[in-house]
Chains A and B, each alone.
Chain A
């Protein structure tokens, strides 16, 4: 029983990390029309940026900010130099997916080439242990959950109440129409890349804090969790991604109680393939 409760705790932490990444990924896809498979690689770049700052003696929160800035810049550059030109030329969606895979290789293995294949960890305190009912969490883990909640509320507020958020939703729904209504779509798209890039950097850092030790290829599997969460909720739906992250996070960690931990990703995988087969538009997506 206590094992189950503890696994729920782990599930919540995984879900928190996942939610930040999945919301970033899904917003990116919704507004920019790029199914950016380089997302997890950019996360890695962010995690290492934070590591570099942290290793230079700065606190980890400063490293996190640096990671967010670096990933925002990297994402904007990817769009400006690669994705946007392909889109302007009218490339098919599948071409962009292949290109994004190429970008994933470039980013991930550039990081690997620079850092070597050795695993690294941040120098930070995990904080004191806190007991909540049956849950045992460290301060760092609580902070991850807290950060994630703040991000979710902030994304909600952005989409709901700000001009930029409304412009993003309009652009996602119909780019041409948004343009004709006086929305500067290319600027909205650029800002979306910066914003989702920052989310990506944040996700990379909290992912690295969560797993403890990481290498350049640590996020390969995490990309699958992101995709599972995104497709579960419906590609392009921010709230769907939040829901998907919660379900996938809990499902993978709780299932680890009953099946060997090595296979916990199978649950996410089965959910993803099932959704693709039965309801590609996702739980919150429109039925087609």
Chain B
């Protein structure tokens, strides 16, 4: 009986830890090889908050603190400690560092901290660890050794695990969770869509850290002792194994993994060693680790998605009836009259068309007093016109301008002193032979890469030093030459992930729950469906983007960029690999967008497309601008013909 209770408590602790790890690794794509130190920190902090000063008990152990705080303060402190401990590591998981290098940094940290805590006795009693940690609520009517108390503890632990599940579920199933998953699938693209990677990863580290800290508190309050041997770096690998086997990014999978691996393994080992007392003491633990290693490799090979794969988020045709969702939101924000027909309108056009139409849709309600977008709906067959989300500054004729922008890669001048300007409302083409530096220039403009020298101005303001996500939020959005869809998001989710200013796309918004953001979500879904209808991809709305054909994926990317409500689009070969018929439709659509006020700079190889749609056209060769003009003018210039057709 008692043994069963121990198992239940362990299951609760491991389930919580695995949920936290799955949130980081499976959902946000942050590989935290130091996960165990967050659990350890929580356990130690809970211990020293609950323990009396270390002079008590004859002073046989030394530790900092010893505040003798009553339950639940030690547990709260543990969760806070786990979360705070994550902050110093923010710099590791930031924008610049490769994920696997960051993981190595965290692994090394875990090993080192273990060594330090082992060797430095004054902190947490060194190698021996802290002992006699009081159980919660030990005074009063509860006797900690009674059966009822033990059962109560197990039930409480399981209930807490359930609360954690509810919490991570709320986060993961929100637009914020969708953004986390988008970042996991392709962080560079998420960056280019206005997602602040550092903030997102910090959020994942802190959330997971706090959960891990709490799990440590639950554990230490039950077993009463905590020493460095309990949190060797290899324990992290056990938790990783659990999450991999159970299913990354699936909460039920994380719990299943927790039951199968940490709990199950202990059970099996105990069973074997009990039935074979003659075995050498070191053998079974060693073989246990070998088995963990084998499980990792075998599962990643045979079933990388785990026993319970990540669920596909299918969004039904009408998630919330408009007569319920939209008026409720409008009333809640006092944004004006009910917007019953808004949804219907948005199907034909966009939510943006609905917003200035006086309906007070969700987007308009958020930023009162900002300039309204163009009132006219899109022409029949035209592209949906996105809403304005940021006040447009004093209109300057050249929406984008560069002064001597250069980029060096180890001595190679990929872009060498490019000065150009793009007029507002034009569909400007950018051509040049392979290696001319077109894509690199686009990366510099969008902020995906930093210019080695030179200055970039957008809407009259300098943006040379702004990171990509800030530029995207200003309305300067790019697409990529290579397929860049979020593979494990559906097509619809890909589009929704780009919506700016979504109320559910923040940590607090996600915690607030669905009622808080469902109006934004409904509007975004309608707008996305409008785009899908326009591009003929409605049938694939709920397919994984990674399963589409190459041409369809290009479309998804363009639609996603449009969802981000840009003022200026930087398109890197949007028609490459697309059926000519469709390419023509894309071209017409882009021209339509420009007529309505958008500016587009487009890299393209197909001269026929340039001929038909682009004016003016900029020619690049060997990193520099060679010429600019209409295609007809350019054809007359010998050096252009030579560079492009011969070189």
Query: Known: A93-B99, A272-B108. Contact between A265 and B296, CB under 8 A?
Result: no
- Majority SS at the chain A contact face: helix
Chain B residues near A117: list those with CB within 8 A.
282
Which residues of A lie under 8 Å from residue B119 when comparing CB positions? Answer: 260, 262-263
Contact residues, B80-117 vs A (CB, 8 A): 91-92, 96-105, 107-109, 111-112, 115-116
Q: Tell me which residues across on chain B come within 8 A of A95, comparing CB atoms.
A: 300, 304
Closest chain-A Cβ to B112's Cβ sits at a distance in Å of 4
What residues of chain B lie closer than 8 Å to A106, measured between beta carbons?
Answer: 290, 293-294, 297
Do residues A266 and B101 form an inter-chain contact, with CB atoms below 8 A?
A: no
Contact yes or no, A97 B301, CB < 8 A: no
Residues of B within 8 A of A82 (CB): 297
In the assembled complex, B145 has its CB within 8 A of some CB on chain A: no
Q: B287 touching A109 by the CB < 8 A rule? A: yes
Within 8 Å of chain B (Cβ to Cβ): is A153?
no
Of B31, B33, B101, B234, which is within 8 A of A276 by CB? B101
B168 to chain A, nearest CB (A): 21
Shortest CB distance B468–A (Å):
15
Q: Are A108 and B289 in contact (CB under 8 A)?
A: yes
Q: Is A235 an interface residue (CB 8 A)?
A: yes
- Quick one: which of B98-150 are within 8 Å of A by CB? 98-105, 107-109, 111-112, 115-116, 119-120
Our count of residue pairs bridging A and B at CB distance below 8 angstroms stands at 131
Q: Which of B306-359 contact A (CB under 8 A)?
A: none
CB of A257 closer than 8 Å to a CB of B = no
Instruction: Specify which chain A residues have a CB less than 8 angstroms from the CB of B96 in the assembled complex.
Output: 280, 288
Measured between beta carbons, the chain A residues less than 8 angstroms from B112 are 224, 265-266, 269
- Taking CB atoms, residues of chain A closer than 8 Å to B100 are 35, 93-94, 96-97
A277 touches B234 (CB 8 A): no
Are B292 and A94 in contact, with the CB atoms below 8 A?
Answer: no
The reply to whether A221 and B300 contact each other, CB–CB distance below 8 Å, is no
In the assembled complex, the CB of B406 is this many whole angstroms from the nearest CB of chain A, namely: 14
Complex partner residue of A227 from B108, B116, B244, B293, CB under 8 angstroms: B108
Which residues of A82-111 have CB atoms within 8 Å of chain B's CB atoms?
A: 82, 85-86, 91, 93-99, 101-106, 108-110
Query: Is B101's CB under 8 angstroms from A280's CB?
Result: yes
> At the interface, yes or no: B237 with Cβ under 8 Å from chain A?
yes
- Chain A 229-241 near chain B by CB (<8 Å), digits 1 or 0: 0010001000000
Q: How near does chain B come to A162, taking the closest CB pair, in angstroms?
A: 24
- Sort A-B residue pairs by CB-CB distance and give the 8 closest, nearest first: A102-B296, A105-B293, A106-B293, A262-B119, A113-B286, A109-B289, A102-B293, A112-B286
Other than A98-B244, A112-B289, A280-B98, give 18 A-B pairs with Cβ distance below 8 A.
A94-B31, A95-B304, A98-B240, A98-B300, A103-B297, A105-B293, A109-B290, A113-B286, A262-B119, A262-B120, A269-B109, A269-B112, A273-B109, A276-B102, A276-B105, A277-B91, A277-B97, A280-B96
Q: Taking beta carbons and an 8 Å cutoff, which residues of B are in contact with A?
A: 31, 33, 91-92, 96-105, 107-109, 111-112, 115-116, 119-120, 233-234, 237, 240, 244, 280, 282-283, 286-290, 292-297, 300-301, 304, 409-410
17 intermolecular pairs with C-beta atoms under 8 Å apart? A35-B104, A37-B107, A93-B99, A97-B103, A98-B31, A99-B297, A101-B240, A102-B293, A102-B296, A102-B297, A103-B293, A109-B286, A112-B289, A221-B115, A231-B104, A263-B116, A288-B96
